[in-house]
Amino acid sequence: MNTLRALLIGSMVLLLTACGVNPVTGKKELQFVSEAQELAIGAQNYAPTRQSEGGDFGVVPDLTAYINEVGQKLAAVSDRKLPYEFVVLNNSVPNAWALPGGKIAVNRGLLTELKNETELAAVLGHEIVHAAARHGAKAQERGTLLQAGMAAAQIGAAVGGADANVAGLLIQGAGVGAQMIQMTYGREQELESDLYGMKYMKLAGYDPWGAVTLQETFVRLSEQGARSKNWLDGMFASHPPSMERVARNQQTAAELGRGGDVGAERYVARMKPLNDLKPAYDKYDQAVAAARKKDFATARRLATEASTALPREGRFQELLGEVALSEKQPQQAATHYNRAMELNPAYFGSYLGAGVAQMQLGNRAKAEEWLARSTQLLPTAPAAFYLGQIEREKGNLPKALEYYKAAAGSDSAIGQQAAAEFVKIDLPQNPGNYVAAAGQLDAGGQLIVVVQNRSPVVMGEVQVTPVMVDANGTITSQGSAVRIRGPLAAGERTTAATGVALTQAQLPLVRFRVDGARAAQ
């Protein structure tokens, strides 16, 4: 009871010391994530999250400069000073997101849907509030509280996830930011972000009515089932629209006062280079959809047309490389990936594809170079898996195990393949980690061992030895080793005789030592 009392007192002290004031609303709240931790979360996850969401959009360099210009005007009047950053991502899904610490991104697919600069300001102001009001940090804190609740339950018992193309390929740790930006904000947080975002708009000189027209458009599209799945995957998934938000925004605009900069002509002029390129990106999106359906001929034709219309876009060459790999043409794929790397040297996908192509061509040195580069930009299961293969071929099994273990953190087919390769290497050294063995008596009092394969691979052979222990668990005697030949599939159980006769009273003192196991050839 003294231990429990100490834990409860410690928890109360933690709660008291974690009280803070929200920098935007001024309300008291529990704050387990410090500002330094917020900044660290944003800084650590901003670059890999941008990679997982399509990478920075560099075809129209002035675009990010423009978005940053508008964003910094709003950040300057926000209630919380953070190192705000704004970037445009090469992604057709209409979306915008913010990480803790003020790291904000807008997809090019959303920019083509807005009508004026004040609607852009509404988007950016809304995201600034998510960061300034600690909405992302609160999500982290809810996780902390959940873990604390689970720990409390255990004490009581003792006393009494990018971009659809990347989804599932991220290894553990690389997908933290992607998970954060895909979460759905609660009703109160969305209303809060609308309210204070509109206040920032007014202070920065914008007409706050832009937040009304923006939300009205979103509601209309949601009621129509949206024009495409992209909307469902983007803004509507993480920022659900509602008539309540429209009404609240209308009320807020009336209170703040209509009037201010709309910036319609300016926005149209700044977006013209992007809108001129939209037909090429539309073809690219259609090509991606065709490739997912394994209609590679259509995908290749559309991607080629997109590349002809916009030859400086590396993503189009990357897709042509993916199609060539799917059609088992690695040399052709390598040509496309080399061009993609030239055009888009800061995007992981070009290097990942190039590495896979070189693996298939048998050029291990070049494959290792490109795969390692892709991993520096964004750790993925395919890169880790193939790097594991390379290290295995070198005979560097510890390094191979390290790569396979990383790849196995992905919920994907290649992650499962990596897990199997890891087990094949590790199984002979640590058979007890993958084999469960227990004893039972048959009708004649003979000891039978029940063995289960708890690994993801088929086992060719398992060897166990029965031992007797005393009340303290110390081994007092042992029988002969029992060899069980496979194949024994993953999860499968089998039995074997041990040649040992026991009484029912002795059975609880029997243990089985797993001496060896090997995967089936």
- Domains contained in the chain, CATH given: 18-140+163-256 (no CATH), 281-379 (1.25.40.10), 431-519 (2.60.40)
Q: pLDDT at position 395, please?
A: 95
Q: pLDDT at position 484, please?
A: 94
Q: pLDDT at position 283, please?
A: 97
506: Cα within 13 Å, side-chain hemisphere: 13
Q: Can you tell me the distance from the alpha carbon of 88 to that of 70, in angstroms, rounded to the nearest whole number?
A: 12
Q: Any idea which residue has 């008596």 for tokens?
A: 441
Sign of CA dihedral 185, 191, 193, 197: positive
| More confident position, 26 or 418 | 418
478: Cα within 13 Å, side-chain hemisphere: 14
Q: Which of 7-16, 203-212, 414-423, 475-484 has the lowest mean pLDDT?
A: 7-16
Q: pLDDT at position 303, please?
A: 98
Contact 345, 338 (CB under 8 A): no
Tell me the mean pLDDT in the region 308-318: 97
Tell me the residue length of the chain.
Answer: 521
Q: pLDDT at position 99, please?
A: 93
Tokens of 324: 């060539």
pLDDT at 147 over 70: no
Q: How confident is the model at residue 410 (pLDDT cuts 50, 70, 90)?
A: confident
Contact 3, 112 (CB under 8 A): no
Across 241-277, b (16+ Cβ under 10 Å) vs e yields beeebbebbbebbeebeeebbbbeeebeebbeebeeb
Q: What is the pLDDT of residues 111-120, one digit of tens each?
A: 999 999 999 9
Query: Of 124, 128, 98, which Cα lies nearest the Cα of 111?
Result: 124
Q: Can you tell me the distance from the alpha carbon of 138 to that of 178, in angstroms, rounded to the nearest whole number?
A: 16
pLDDT at 175 over 70: no
Q: Among residues of the chain, what percentage have pLDDT more than 70? A: 85
Tokens of 154: 């255990």
Q: What is the pLDDT of residues 69-85, one digit of tens each?
A: 999 999 999 999 999 99
Other Cβ atoms within 10 Å of 130 Cβ, number? 29
Which helix (H) or strand (E) segment holds residue 181: the answer is helix 176-182
pLDDT at 338 over 50: yes
pLDDT at 254 over 90: yes
Q: What is the pLDDT of residues 448-507, one digit of tens each?
A: 999 999 999 999 999 999 999 998 889 999 999 999 998 999 999 999 999 999 999 999
